[in-house]
Amino acid sequence: MGADIYLDSIHNHLRETYKPLLDTATARKRAAETDEDREKARGDANEALNLMYSDGYFRDSYNSSSVFWQMNISWWKDVGDMINDEGYLPIEQAKELRDLILSREIPETLGEEFKESEASEWIEHFKKKREEFLNLLNLSIDLEEPLCCSI
């Protein structure tokens, strides 16, 4: 489970573009008679999925691996109140959320649930995820297109 955030104009186009490839690969996987053919079809299906979600989409978990968790921002308490009844983040609220995120940094030390030997990799991961979400927020604001939010 997690938060799924979409910019409809981009994400819907990618989904429509790559869904036929996913459907074909899935059908090939089901019909495969050898492990080799099944693995090739599975790889093709994964590639199609990756392309479908390559732009205009952001996903974050609800646990300590969440970038929002690391910034002490709650999807439910902080973001949930910003989302309208149709499930979209209006532009003014997107600006508020951007300001909130910009006021928070990724901590340089992580909780004990992260192995010390992997902490620097996790910190870089969180910084990258923060930038990815800020980029999507900025795109939403620039296009004046609210983000669809499934939290």
Say whether 3 sits in a helix, a strand or coil: strand
Apex CA 136: angle with CA 92 and CA 114, to 5°?
Answer: 110
**Class of residue 126 by CB neighbours under 10 A (exposed 0-12, middle 13-18, buried 19+):** buried
The stretch 78-88 carries a mean pLDDT of 97
What are the residue boundaries of the structural domains of the chain, listed by start?
Answer: 2-150
- pTM, two decimal places: 0.83
Cβ-contact 60, 67 below 8 angstroms:
yes
Residue-wise pLDDT for 102-137, tens only, equals 999 998 877 777 777 678 899 999 999 999 999 999
Give which of 48, 42, 43 is closest to 18, Cα–Cα: 48
